[in-house]
Amino acid sequence: MGDQVLYFEDVAEGDRAPELAHVLTRTDLVAYAGASGDFNPMHHDEVKATAAGQPSVFGHGMFSMGLVGTAITNYVGVGNVRRFQVRFARQTWPDEELRTRIVVTGTRTEGDDHLVDLDVRLHNVDGEEKVVGEATAVVPCRL
Amino acid sequence: MADDILNTIIGKPTGTTVVTVERGQLALFASAVKDESPIYRDPRAAAEAGLPGIPAPPTYPLVMGNFGAYPELQPGDAPSGNPMAEVIGPLMAKGGLILHGEQEFTYHRPVFAGDVLVGEGKVVDAYRKESKGRTMTFVVVETAWSERSTGEPVCTSRMNIIHRI
């Protein structure tokens, strides 16, 4: 959470970031709508969502990406992300437990920058993938 | 709608937005993505982490145009017409669902509270696919954010929006 520094020398391919787990609630969706300004009714209005053929309201894709972003910065440090890309594979639903899975796919040096490449995912407890992507962070060196 | 309409929007600007990045909004957004780090809330914690100010969470750049885009900041010569609306508007009139397909950010530096940033958007791709009896229309919009005072690049957002019917 910013107080623990991840150093380049301590990272190796295959390392995993601590998992972030969260049970999605409708309150989360309302909070995200307000904080993002995304008031698409599919994410907060059960009446409109069901009228549109959805089983219920469903999560903003960007909430899922945001949750993955939180797990990434918890691991590499706030302010260190250089690139973050995802594909939104499936919708998320209230009461689903969402879990991040972040794995180091490589480390490299580019000029003075020490870079860590990550495979980043979000899935539910059944292993159904919600978000699949990758990220690159620049982390400090001990030397 | 013919595909040639999709071709005509590629390269078209989606508009220029000037935003001020506000501290309260960053803390609110951090809470909304379940990040309780003091770095988003306390400038002393940010300084301890080696940051010159309170940063934005990584996905904030997508939404920052929704806040702090005050009228007096906006350029007077804004182009009229929104190519996104030109394509998505008629599609939505037929029904269907708008989905966010993919999202990518590249960061030259973090966004900080107090930044005044210029976002310039353009359509970089638009195409259609038929799949399992459904028609999917894809529009990719790239927004490049830079510092208003220096022109230095800050971050780029690339968003792939899908209309599915």
Show the domains of chain B with their CATH numbers.
Answer: 3-22+67-164 (3.10.129.10)
Domain span holding position A29 = 17-138
Those residues of chain A whose CB sits closer than 8 Å to some CB in chain B are 1-3, 20, 22, 28, 31-32, 34-38, 40, 42, 52, 60-63, 65-67, 69-70, 72-74, 77-79, 81-88
Average pLDDT value over all residues in chain A: 96
Would the CB atoms of A84 and B38 count as touching at under 8 Å?
Answer: no
Q: Is residue A11 part of a domain?
A: no
Testing the interface with B: which of A32, A78, A115 to mutate, by most B Cβ within 10 A? A78
Q: Is B45 on the interface with A (CB under 8 A)?
A: yes
Residues with Cβ < 8 Å from B138, sequence gap 6 or more? B101, B125, B126, B127, B128, B129, B160, B161, B162
pLDDT at A95 over 50: yes
| Residue A20, φ and ψ in degrees, nearest 5 | -110, 125
Helices (H), A2-138: 26-36, 46-51, 61-76
CA angle B40, B44, B49 (to 5 degrees): 70
CA-to-CA separations, B130 to A53, B36, B91, in angstroms, rounded: 21, 43, 15
ipTM of the complex in this document? 0.96
pLDDT at A92 over 80: yes
Q: Domain holding A58: CATH number?
A: 3.10.129.10
Q: Is residue A86 part of a domain?
A: yes
Residues of chain B below pLDDT 70: 1-4, 78-81
Q: Is residue A9 part of a domain?
A: no
Residues in chain A: 143
Would the CB atoms of A34 and B28 count as touching at under 8 Å?
Answer: yes
Confidence (pLDDT) at B75: 86
Confidence (pLDDT) at B81: 67
CB A49 within 8 A of CB A57: yes
A2 band by pLDDT with thresholds 50, 70 and 90:
very low
CB pairs under 8 A between A and B: 119
Q: Is residue A78 part of a domain?
A: yes
Q: Is A72 helix (H, G, I), strand (E, B) or coil?
A: helix
The amino acid at A94: P
The Cα of A35 is separated from the nearest Cα of chain B by a number of Å equal to: 5
Stretch A73-102: mean pLDDT, rounded? Answer: 97
Which tens digits make up the pLDDT trace of B8-23?
889 999 889 999 999 9
> Would you state the structure tokens that stand for residue A119, as one six-digit string?
């495979």
CB A86 within 8 A of CB A132: yes
pLDDT at A45 over 50: yes
Q: Give just the sign of the alpha carbon dihedral A50, A55, A60, A61.
A: negative
Q: Is B162 helix (H, G, I), strand (E, B) or coil?
A: strand
Q: Is residue A1 part of a domain?
A: no
Q: Is residue A43 part of a domain?
A: yes
Stretch A44-70: mean pLDDT, rounded? Answer: 97
What residues of A are in contact with residue B69 (Cβ under 8 Å)? none
Q: Is residue A90 part of a domain?
A: yes
Give the separation between CA B26 and CA B112, rounded to whole angstroms.
9
CB B21 within 8 A of CB B118: no
Instruction: Report the predicted TM-score, pTM, of the whole model to 2 decimal places.
Output: 0.94
Which tens digits make up the pLDDT trace of B57-74?
999 999 999 999 999 999
For chain B, first and last CA: distance in Å?
A: 13
Residues with Cβ < 8 Å from B127, sequence gap 6 or more? B3, B6, B137, B138
Count of domains for chain A: 1
Q: Is residue A112 part of a domain?
A: yes
